[in-house]
């Protein structure tokens, strides 16, 4: 359901996977490089939210994590959380329209930020990916009020209710211990950025031997430089991995190294573990519902805390969640590339 087309110098468009404010010279999380001289807000360093842009606005952790993944030079404007950036503060801004921009903790991964834009007394909050549940490897989400809310709704159906994180991580630890006690090497399949570090911290006092995939190791070192503490680990080496807890985004190199590695027990960690149709290596593969996104109840709670006048949803079950909000009497619309929606703030 598309919103009403409104003409204003403050319109935004949903395209290239992100938000574009053409009259402000701003983008938020476009999927493909922006090389036009316009500034791009990068909400966090996951690969589906970054690209080789020419000028970016981001937090310091996101800057460091993004640099480790995307080489090259770019103009960078680093903001502290809650710091307000004004249009006049930006070098080579493509607009003269005054605005204020601030970043606020999103609770997704380290450095992840929601972006709040204010123009002539009106405001918009773009969440990027976020979660309200507190984690050990990132800042806690801090919702802020805005008149218009643009939010990700990956798990926007009522069936997605995650168990408490501490219970999930306790189950992961039990899985690792029982596997090792049985002479089986436990393999935890998880994203190299964010989830791998959350798992590592949960094993801090477990005193288990751990090997990390190289992609996770490089990013974990940045976390450590920024003050996070981890248990001892070594780089993943199929020749010596037997008897270790292995944290990796893929099990392929381990499977190809068998039988020298001995028996493996592979587990996947994702919010999609709640969906039995989610594909795994085999139907008996353990799965743990560990997610760095908000589940359905937290999506609802987040809207209540922001108290917007209208809501735009994107990603995942966007149409379902917008429909749910409308049933609650709210003005809500799902965004899609087909809409090429223009919205006045």
Per-residue confidence (pLDDT) for residue 123, from 0 to 100: 92
Q: Which residue has the tokens 């992100």?
A: 18
Strands annotated E in 26-147: 26-28, 39-41, 55-58, 75-78, 84-86, 100-105, 113-119, 122-126
**Domain-located, residue 3:** no
Question: Do 38 and 129 share a domain, yes or no?
Answer: yes
Among candidate residues 288, 308, 330, the one where a domain is terminated? 288
Per-residue confidence (pLDDT) for residue 10, from 0 to 100: 53
- Alpha-carbon distance 263 to 189, whole Å? 16
Q: Are 249 and 241 in contact (CB under 8 A)?
A: no
Question: Do 241 and 95 share a domain, yes or no?
Answer: no
Q: Which two tokens stand for residue 281?
A: 């290596």
Please name the helix (run of DSSP H) or strand (run of DSSP E) that holds residue 165, with its range, or none. helix 165-181
Residue range of the domain that includes 137: 12-159+293-343
Per-residue confidence (pLDDT) for residue 93, from 0 to 100: 65
Per-residue confidence (pLDDT) for residue 339, from 0 to 100: 46
Question: Do 241 and 213 share a domain, yes or no?
Answer: yes
**Domain-located, residue 142:** yes
Among candidate residues 252, 271, 288, the one where a domain is terminated? 288
Question: Do 121 and 179 share a domain, yes or no?
Answer: no
**Residue 11: partners with Cβ closer than 8 Å, 6 or more residues away:** 21, 22, 23, 342, 343, 344, 345
- Alpha-carbon distance 110 to 198, whole Å? 10
Rounded to the nearest 5°, which phi and psi values hold at 300? -65, -45
Question: Do 273 and 314 share a domain, yes or no?
Answer: no
Q: DSSP for 232-292, please give it.
A: --EE--TTT-TTSEEEES--HHHHHHTTTT--EEEEEE-GGGGSTTS--SSTT--EE---S
**Domain-located, residue 5:** no
Q: Is the dihedral of CA 174, 176, 180, 184 positive or negative?
A: positive
Q: Are 199 and 169 in contact (CB under 8 A)?
A: yes
Question: Do 111 and 137 share a domain, yes or no?
Answer: yes
Count of structural domains, the chain = 2
Altogether, the residues listed in the chain come to a count of 345
Among candidate residues 247, 263, 288, the one where a domain is terminated? 288
**Domain-located, residue 135:** yes
Output the domain CATH number for residue 263.
3.40.50.10890
Question: Do 94 and 221 share a domain, yes or no?
Answer: no
Strands 18-21, 26-28: pairing is antiparallel
Per-residue confidence (pLDDT) for residue 76, from 0 to 100: 94
**Domain-located, residue 35:** yes
Question: Do 253 and 304 share a domain, yes or no?
Answer: no
Per-residue confidence (pLDDT) for residue 88, from 0 to 100: 82
Question: Do 125 and 227 share a domain, yes or no?
Answer: no
Output the domain CATH number for residue 318.
3.60.15.10
**Domain-located, residue 313:** yes
- Residue 259, preceding peptide bond in cis (omega within 30° of 0): yes
Per-residue confidence (pLDDT) for residue 92, from 0 to 100: 66
Q: Which of 94, 50, 53 lies closest to 72 in space, CA to CA?
A: 53
**Domain-located, residue 1:** no
**Residue 63: partners with Cβ closer than 8 Å, 6 or more residues away:** 56, 76, 78, 111
Question: Do 270 and 312 share a domain, yes or no?
Answer: no
Question: Do 247 and 331 share a domain, yes or no?
Answer: no
Question: Do 193 and 106 share a domain, yes or no?
Answer: no
**Domain-located, residue 268:** yes
**Residue 250: partners with Cβ closer than 8 Å, 6 or more residues away:** 189, 213
Give pLDDT tens digits along the chain (345 positions): 444 444 455 578 998 899 999 888 899 999 999 988 899 999 999 998 999 999 999 999 999 999 999 988 899 999 999 999 998 888 766 667 789 999 999 999 999 999 999 998 889 999 999 999 999 999 999 999 999 999 999 999 999 999 999 999 999 999 999 999 999 999 999 999 999 999 999 999 999 999 999 999 999 999 999 999 999 999 999 889 999 999 999 887 777 666 667 899 999 999 999 987 766 656 678 999 999 999 999 999 999 999 999 999 999 999 999 999 999 999 999 997 554 444 544
């Amino acid at each position: 359901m598309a919103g009403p087309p409104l003409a204003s110098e403050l319109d935004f468009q949903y395209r290239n996977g992100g938000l574009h404010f053409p009259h402000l010279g701003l983008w938020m999380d476009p999927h493909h490089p922006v090389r036009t001289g316009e500034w791009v807000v990068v909400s966090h360093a996951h690969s589906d939210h970054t690209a080789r842009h020419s000028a970016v606005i981001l937090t310091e952790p996101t800057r460091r994590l993004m640099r480790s993944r995307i080489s090259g030079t770019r103009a960078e404007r680093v903001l502290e959380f809650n710091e307000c950036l004004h249009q006049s503060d930006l070098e080579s801004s493509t607009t003269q329209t005054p605005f204020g921009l601030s970043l606020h903790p999103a609770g997704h991964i380290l450095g992840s930020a929601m972006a709040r834009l204010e123009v002539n007394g009106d405001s918009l909050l773009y969440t990027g990916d976020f979660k309200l549940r507190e984690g050990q490897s990132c800042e806690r989400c801090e919702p802020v009020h805005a008149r218009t809310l643009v939010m990700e709704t990956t798990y926007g159906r009522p069936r997605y209710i995650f168990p408490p994180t501490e219970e999930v991580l306790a189950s992961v630890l039990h899985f690792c211990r029982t596997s090792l006690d049985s002479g089986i090497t436990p393999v935890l399949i998880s994203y190299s950025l964010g989830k791998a570090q959350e798992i590592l911290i949960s094993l801090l006092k477990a005193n288990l031997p751990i090997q990390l995939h190289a992609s996770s190791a490089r990013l974990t070192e940045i976390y450590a430089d920024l003050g996070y503490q981890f248990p001892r680990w070594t780089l993943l080496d199929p020749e010596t991995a037997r008897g270790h807890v292995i944290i990796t985004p893929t099990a392929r190199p381990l499977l190809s190294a068998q039988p020298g590695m001995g028996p493996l027990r592979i587990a996947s960690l994702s919010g999609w573990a709640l969906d039995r149709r989610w594909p795994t290596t085999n139907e008996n593969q353990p799965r743990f519902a560990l997610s760095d996104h908000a589940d359905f109840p937290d999506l609802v709670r987040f809207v209540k805390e922001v108290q917007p006048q209208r809501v735009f949803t994107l990603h995942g079950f966007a149409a379902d969640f917008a429909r749910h909000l409308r049933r609650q009497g709210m003005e809500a619309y799902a965004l899609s590339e087909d809409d090429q929606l223009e919205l006045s703030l």
